[in-house]
Structures are given as C-alpha cells and as structure tokens.
C-alpha cells in the first residue's frame, strides 16, 4: 500500500548569515492509519519536520510525497489546495479566530473548500463539535471556552474537510493532565477508529507511548524510528 | 472564488472587530467625497453660470468689418524675395462696413436655427446736464435683438420695442443713467466722432449686472446709428446666434474663410476667462486629491494595523489551506468596503453640503450679479468622487494586503509555539 506520507532525503537549511540546518536527510514512510509520535530534545527539528510534512515549508533538498504524489516544485497555491483537502493541523496553541464563533471556526475550512452547501457545512460542524462533546458551545466565542475545550475545537476544525492526515504540533503542550488525557484519547481514536494518519510532535511521554511508532530526532536527524 | 463568501466573512469580521477605527477611516473617505462634491458643485456651478451668461448675453459669433491680416502692399507681392522697404505709406481711406451685408444675412438665415442681425457700432459722447460720458452706441434691430442677447430680460424701465415707436430713441444702462442723472423720457445730446450731434430720448434703461455694459453701452435703431455715424446703409458687424453654442468656434472659422472678414466666436473673445476655469479646475482637483490621499493614508493605516495584529490568524488560515491570494482578497475587500461605505456616506455628505449651500442667499454686485451660490447638481461629480474614493481605498489596501499574502506561516507558528 502507498504510504500516506513519505519523505525522501529531506533536508531543510535556513539560508541566514550562518546557514542553519533544521533537518537533514530524513527518510520516512508513514502508512495510512498509522499513529506516529515525533520526539526529541528542543531544537532537534521536530516542528520543522512537521511543517515540511504539512507542506507549510518546502525542503531545501529532497521531496515530500503525500498519498504517493510528489509535492516537489508545486506552486504555493497548489500546496495550499493540498493542505485544504488532505491535511489537518493542530498546534500547541489553539489559534482559533477570535472574531468568529466556535462553530464558525470549524466551518471556515469547509467554506474555503466550497464542496458542501452552507446547510451541510453547518450540520457537519455541529456533528464534529458533538463528537468532541462541546456541541453546546458552538455559539460561544473562543475566549469564552476553557483551554481544553478550545483545543478540541481546534481538532474539530482540523477534521472539518475530512482529511486523511492529521499533523499535530505539541497538541497537549498547553493543557493540564486531565485535558491532555482527553486530547490524547481523541488522537488515538482518530487513528484506530477513523483510520486517519496521525503525526504528532510531543514532549509528553504518555502521548508518545500511545502512538504506534515513535520517531526520535536528534540534531535534525532521525536517531531512532 | 477569489471574492468568495468566506473571504468576505473574514474581511467583515475584521472590520467589525475594530468598529471605531473602521468608522474613522470611513469618515475620512466620506469627508473627502463630500467636500469634493460640495466644492466641485460650486465650482462647476459657477463655471456653468458664468459661461451661460457669456453665451446667452452675447451673440455666439460676431463678424466684423476687420481683417486679421493687414492688407499687403502690391509691391511686396510682386517682389516676394526682394529686399524692399516702403516708407511713409498712408493707409487708404475707405468706407468701412461689411460689403453686401444684406446678402450675407440671407445666406446665414438660410441655415436652420441660425439667427443673425446686422449691427453698427461706434464711439460717441453722451452729454446731459453738463456732464459727459463716453458711450459705445450699437445700432440694432429690436425685433431680432431679444433672440441674440439677454438685453430684453435686463430691461428695468421701458423697452427695446419703444425704439421703433420713438424717433431718435436710445436705450441706456442703469450705470449711465445714475452717473448722468439721465432718466426715462429725458433728452440727451449724443455726439458722434463725425461731429454729428443728435438729441436722443431715453426710452429704456437696462441693467446687465456688468459695469462695463451698464455704464458704457447704449442701443439705438440701426437706422438711427447709420444717421448718427454718417454711414448710410452700412453695417459694420453681423451678430449671429447658433443653435449649439459649442459649434461657434468651428463655424466662425468657416465664415472667416468664406468672407475674409474677422469672425470672432464667444470662445475666442473669452479665451482668457475660459483659460482661468481650466486653472481653477486643476486647483480643485489637486486639493481634492490631497484630501483623498490623506483619507487613503487612514485606510492604509488601519489595514496595516489589522495585518500586523492578524499575522497569526493569517498564518493559521494559510495552514488551513487559504491561498496567498485569498489572504490578499480578504484585506483588499476591507479597503473596498471602507471605500464603498465611505463613498455612499460621502454622497450623503455632498448632498447635505449642496443643499446647505443652496439655501444660503446673498447679493453680490460687481462684474456679475449673483443671488446665492450658483450650483451644479451634476451626476458627474458623484461618479468622479466615487471613482476617486474607491480607487484610493483599494490602492491604500493593496500594499498591506500584499504584505499579508507574503506571510510565511511557518515563521509565525514557529515563533508563537
């Protein structure tokens, strides 16, 4: 079976006064439905790798393949289209848009994609919020929610367009133990029950242990996989 | 798709989230638009008023018994290349006047809508009660004159028609009447350069609102003028009114080519004044552009601030799959919306200004009489102001919008995490 994500000799160097190598010669194959945690000390290139997998950044060398399709040489707009349809992001901070209600935040990616009618979009947003047991919070503004609730809204937003791949950058980094457990369980459920490919950067050892596989980075290189 | 609903939603959310700043930038545009409409209505109004006074109060074209080029001496025609000098030449004295003016009049009147009348003008002195004034006398046809000029509307006492019924009647201006204490029915001596003195009876007093005319112009019958100036059966000018005043320049050139006589259109006579209007309009538009530039700085400012504040949101929208051009559209829409609302509010301000100005009444006496502001309610100013407002709003939004579209989400997200 085609890997959901594959990297071939991916290297990313920041061209600054003194060039900084973020990641070096990364070769990974992540199968569909696999839950992979990425760990490593600070500055080991975990987040940089995630941004490369998420097509937010472009490798200096090598290529990233999504669903077997190479993304090398694609225009920014084409990368955006791939992100819109196939990828969902969850960050350490919820990054919800403060002007919009919780439900509207979840609706935005669907409206951008424009594949569903406005009514269907509303229904799907409500379903997603229900799924994460925050259905009754839909009309509230993000700042009226607790940290854990906000992170669940962010996950619901990442799932809005039913992507195949969820990329998470320290999704529990800002949460207390109880909420961390909830969020971790959600990711496990997404991989096991919904068959989604999940790649999560984490410091949280419980979180890392819950994954099918752990990729450990040191100095921008894969130390253990 | 670029201006899709979701982009509009986000743009509106940004604007509504900063209601006060949005309002201020809308007001900036609105004031610019409003003042533009107010001042240009005033400017255009006074220009139209002035031009229509010019056009209505005078014949559109006057053909005079003059030539643009002085007659060439035959000597110079014969020896075109030669070094010839001619000294002490005395101009031939010839009887001035337009040759066969009646035939020319018939030609003119044959053209649809053209009104033409002969005239004979000359300098004279009007003496009454020991006082004298230089007055230009114009011999006219009272039947045609009202269609050539607005003189009949300006009559304060008596009428032009009285010239026909009174022997040696004269119509004078109010200014002259005041200076010489010369009133209706009084007999004044009119002295021509030829030495003729005719006692003339005042049968009408007009007030054109133009001091030059009111103090220095008088009208008599053409026939009486011919007697006064010793020029029997002579007219020294043909005064012409056209159906469309704008064709006067072209028509006057044709006439001049055909008859050789100097034909002056109203545009030519008033070239300097019309030139002033061009300068005045240029000043108006530069002032308004300045207002608009200030207003667009306001827009630039608010959208730049939004872009700075929303960098994180921009990054997250991009990570969701919003393209760079969606982001640019979101901020351009904001400029556009501010421009549209500013334009509409500005139209309201403009209408308010115009109606306020229109309600002010005052009397100015001078070269031209005015009662209140002459205003122009033209649709054009609204359109021009609208285009100005929208263009400057979108231009002002372009730079920050473009900068927003260049945000690299990784830089923002990495920094925030």
**Does A145 score more than 80 pLDDT?**
yes
First to last CA, chain B: 32
CA B293 to chain CA mean position, Å: 27
pLDDT value of residue A64: 92
The dihedrals phi and psi of B220, each to the nearest 5 degrees, come to -135, 175
**Which pair of tokens denotes residue B345?**
């509010």
pLDDT at A120: 92
Instruction: Give CA–CA dist A49/B114, Å, rounded.
Output: 87
Across the A:B interface, residue pairs with CB atoms under 8 Å apart total 90
Residue A56 is nearest to which of B5, B313, B410, comparing CB atoms?
B410
Q: Which two three-digit tokens encode residue B85?
A: 């000098």
B319/A83 Cβ within 8 A: yes
CA distance B37 to B379: 10
- Cα–Cα distance for residue pair B97/B105, rounded to 1 Å: 14
Would you say residue B267 has pLDDT above 60? yes
- Rounded Cα distance, B218 and B382, in Å: 44
* Residue A222 to residue A26: CA distance in whole angstroms: 7
User: Could you report the per-residue pLDDT of B63-95, keeping only the tens digit for each?
Assistant: 888 777 777 777 778 888 878 787 887 776 666
Does residue B363 contact residue B371 with C-beta atoms inside 8 Å? yes
Residue ranges of the domains in chain B?
5-55+273-416, 61-75+95-241
Taking CB atoms and an 8 Å limit, are B321 and A99 in contact across chains? no
Q: Alpha helices of B181-270 — where are they, by DSSP H?
A: 211-216, 222-228, 248-259, 266-269
Whole-number pLDDT of residue B372: 66
- Chain A interface includes B2 (CB < 8 A): no
Q: A136: pLDDT confidence band, cut at 50, 70 and 90? A: confident
B73: closest CA among B88, B97, B89? Answer: B89
Query: Comparing C-alpha atoms, which of A69, A2, A202, A53 is closest to residue A215?
Result: A202
- What is the interface pTM, i.e. ipTM, of the complex? 0.89
Residue A92 and residue B417: Cβ atoms within 8 Å? yes
Q: What mean pLDDT is predicted for residues B134-156?
A: 86
- Banded pLDDT at B241 (limits 50, 70, 90): confident
Range B341-352 burial, b when 16+ CB lie within 10 A, else e: bbbbbbbebbbe
Has residue B328 got a pLDDT over 70? yes
Model pLDDT, residue B96: 76
Give how far the C-alpha of residue B246 lies from the chain's centroid of Cα atoms, to the nearest Å.
Answer: 12
- The proportion of chain A whose per-residue pLDDT surpasses 90, expressed as a percent, equals 29
CA angle A192, A165, A209 (to 5 degrees): 50
Residue A66 CB partners (closer than 8 Å, separation 6+): A4, A5, A55, A82, A86, A87, A165
Q: Contacts from B51-54 at CB under 8 Å and sequence distance 24+?
A: B51/B274, B51/B277, B53/B368, B54/B266, B54/B270, B54/B273
Query: CA-to-CA distance for B382 and B135, rounded, in angstroms?
Result: 47
d(CA B367, CA B213): 10
The CA–CA distances, whole Å, from A18 to A13, A14, A21, B113 equal 10, 9, 10, 86
pLDDT tens figures, B334-358: 989 989 999 999 999 988 988 888 7
Contacts of A108 in chain B (CB under 8 A): 6, 10, 317, 320
Asked whether the predicted pLDDT for residue B194 surpasses 90, the reply is no
pLDDT band at B295 (very low <50, low <70, confident <90, very high): confident
Please check whether residue A111 touches B, CB under 8 A: yes
Q: Tens of pLDDT along B208-235?
A: 877 888 898 999 998 888 888 888 888 8
CB A137 within 8 A of CB A129: yes
> What is d(CA B58, CA B147) in angstroms, rounded to the nearest whole number?
10
Give all domains of chain A, ordered by start, each with its CATH number. Answer: 5-224 (3.40.50.300)
A187 to chain B, any CB pair closer than 8 A? The answer is no
Residue B369 pLDDT exceeds 60: no
CB contact at 8 A, B60 and B245: yes
Tell me which chain B residues have a C-beta less than 8 angstroms from the C-beta of A80. 318, 321-324
Question: In chain B, count of helices (H) and strands (E)?
Answer: 16, 12
Q: Residue window 8-67, chain B: list those with CB within 8 Å of chain A.
A: 9-10, 13-14, 16-17
Q: How far is B323 from chain A (nearest CA, A)?
A: 5
Contacts of B17 in chain A (CB under 8 A): 98-99
| Core vs surface per residue B50-87: b (16+ CB within 10 A) or e | bbebbbebbbbbbbbbeeeeeeeeeeeeeeeeeeeeee
B18, B316, B318, B325: which to substitute to probe chain A, counting the most A Cβ within 10 Å? B316
Strand partners, A181: none
Give CA–CA dist A210/A34, Å, rounded.
12
C-alpha A11/C-alpha A6 separation (Å) is 13
pLDDT tens per residue, range A195-221: 899 999 998 888 888 889 999 989 888
Which residues numbered 308-327 in B keep a CB inside 8 Å of some CB on A? 312-313, 315-326
A77 contacts on B by Cβ (under 8 Å)? 323-325
Poorest-confidence range of A16-25, A110-119, B35-44, B184-193? B35-44
Average pLDDT over residues B108-117: 83
* Predicted local distance difference test score (pLDDT) of residue B367: 46
Strand runs labelled E in B151-216? 155-158, 169-173, 187-191, 197-206
User: Which of A55-59, B255-259, B267-271 reaches the highest mean pLDDT?
Assistant: A55-59
From CA B220, how far away is CA B202, in angstroms rounded?
10
* A116 lies within 8 A of chain B by CB: no
Q: What is the mean pLDDT of residues B164-184?
A: 89
Share of chain B above pLDDT 90, in %: 10
Whether the Cβ atoms of residue B156 and residue B174 lie closer than 8 Å to each other: yes
Contact A111 B16 (CB under 8 A): no
Over 80: is that where the pLDDT of B24 sits?
yes
| Most B CBs within 10 Å, among A108, A116, A159, A162, to test the B interface | A108
What are the distances in angstroms from CA B208 to CA B140, B341, B383? 17, 46, 36
Where is average pLDDT lowest: A92-106, A154-168, B328-342, B357-371? B357-371
More confident residue, B284 or B343: B343
pLDDT above 80: residue B365:
no
CA distance B312 to B332: 18
What is the phi-psi region of residue B290: left when phi exceeds 0, alpha when psi lies from -120 to 50, beta otherwise?
alpha
Closest CA to B351 of B4, B36, B56, B9: B36
pLDDT for B364: 60
Assess whether pLDDT exceeds 50 at residue A16.
Answer: yes
When comparing pLDDT for B127 and A223, which is higher?
B127
A57 in B contact zone (CB under 8 Å): yes
**Binning pLDDT at 50, 70 and 90, where does residue B417 land?**
very low
Determine the Cα–Cα distance for residues B280 and B263; give it in Å rounded to an integer.
Answer: 28
């Amino acid at each position: 079976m085609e890997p959901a994500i594959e990297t071939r000799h991916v290297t990313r160097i920041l061209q600054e006064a003194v060039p900084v190598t973020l990641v070096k010669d990364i070769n990974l194959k992540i199968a569909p439905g696999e839950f992979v945690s990425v760990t490593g000390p600070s500055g080991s290139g975990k987040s940089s790798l995630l941004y490369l997998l998420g097509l937010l950044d472009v490798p200096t060398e090598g290529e990233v393949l999504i669903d077997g399709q190479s993304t090398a040489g694609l225009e920014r707009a084409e990368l955006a289209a791939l992100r819109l349809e196939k990828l969902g992001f969850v960050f350490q901070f919820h990054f919800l848009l403060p002007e919009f209600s919780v439900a509207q935040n979840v609706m935005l990616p669907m409206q951008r994609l424009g594949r569903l009618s406005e009514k269907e979009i509303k229904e799907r947003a409500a379903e997603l919020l229900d799924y994460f047991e925050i259905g009754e919070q839909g009309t509230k503004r993000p700042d009226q929610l607790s940290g854990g609730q906000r992170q669940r809204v962010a996950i619901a937003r990442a799932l809005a367009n039913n992507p195949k791949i969820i990329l998470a950058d320290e999704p529990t980094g800002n949460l207390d133990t109880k909420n961390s457990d909830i969020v971790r369980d959600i990711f496990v459920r997404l991989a096991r029950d919904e068959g989604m490919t999940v790649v999560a950067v984490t410091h949280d050892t419980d979180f890392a242990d819950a994954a099918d596989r752990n990729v450990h980075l040191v100095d921008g290189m894969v130390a253990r996989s | 798709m670029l201006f899709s609903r979701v982009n509009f939603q986000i743009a509106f959310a940004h604007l509504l989230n900063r209601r006060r700043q949005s309002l201020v930038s809308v007001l900036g545009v609105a004031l610019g638009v409003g003042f533009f409409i107010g001042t240009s209505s005033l400017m255009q109004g006074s220009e139209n008023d002035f031009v229509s006074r010019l056009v209505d109060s005078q014949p559109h074209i006057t053909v005079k018994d003059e030539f643009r080029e002085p007659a060439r001496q035959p000597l110079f025609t014969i020896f075109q290349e030669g070094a010839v000098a001619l000294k002490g030449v005395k101009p031939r004295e010839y009887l001035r006047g337009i040759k066969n003016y009646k035939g020319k009049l018939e030609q003119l009147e044959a053209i649809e809508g053209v009104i033409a009348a002969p005239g004979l003008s000359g300098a004279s002195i009007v003496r009454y009660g020991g006082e004298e004034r230089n007055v230009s006398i114009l011999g006219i046809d009272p039947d045609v004159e009202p269609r050539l000029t607005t003189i009949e509307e300006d009559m304060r006492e008596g009428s032009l028609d009285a010239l026909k019924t009174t022997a040696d009647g004269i119509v004078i201006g109010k200014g002259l009447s005041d200076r010489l204490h010369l009133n209706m029915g009084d007999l004044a001596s009119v002295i021509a350069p030829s030495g003729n003195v005719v006692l003339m009876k005042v049968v009408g007093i007009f007030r054109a609102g133009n001091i030059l005319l009111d103090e220095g112009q008088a009208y008599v019958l053409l026939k009486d003028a011919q007697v006064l100036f010793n020029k029997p059966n002579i007219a020294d000018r043909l005064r012409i009114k056209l159906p469309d005043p704008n064709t006067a320049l072209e028509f006057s050139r044709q006439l001049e080519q055909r008859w050789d006589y100097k034909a002056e259109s109203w545009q030519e006579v008033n070239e300097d004044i019309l030139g002033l209007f061009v300068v005045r309009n240029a000043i108006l538009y530069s002032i308004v552009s300045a207002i608009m530039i200030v207003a667009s700085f306001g827009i630039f400012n608010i959208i730049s601030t939004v872009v700075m504040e929303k960098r994180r949101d921009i990054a997250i929208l991009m990570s969701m799959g919003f393209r760079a051009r969606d982001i640019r559209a979101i901020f351009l829409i904001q400029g556009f919306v501010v421009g549209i609302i500013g334009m509409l509010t500005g139209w309201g301000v403009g209408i308010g200004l115009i109606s306020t100005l229109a309600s002010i009444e005052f009397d100015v006496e001078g070269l031209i009489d005015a009662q209140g502001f002459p205003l122009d309610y033209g649709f054009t100013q609204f359109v021009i102001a609208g285009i100005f407002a929208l263009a400057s709003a979108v231009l002002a939004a372009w730079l920050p919008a473009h900068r927003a579209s260049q945000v690299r989400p990784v830089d923002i997200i990495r920094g925030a995490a």
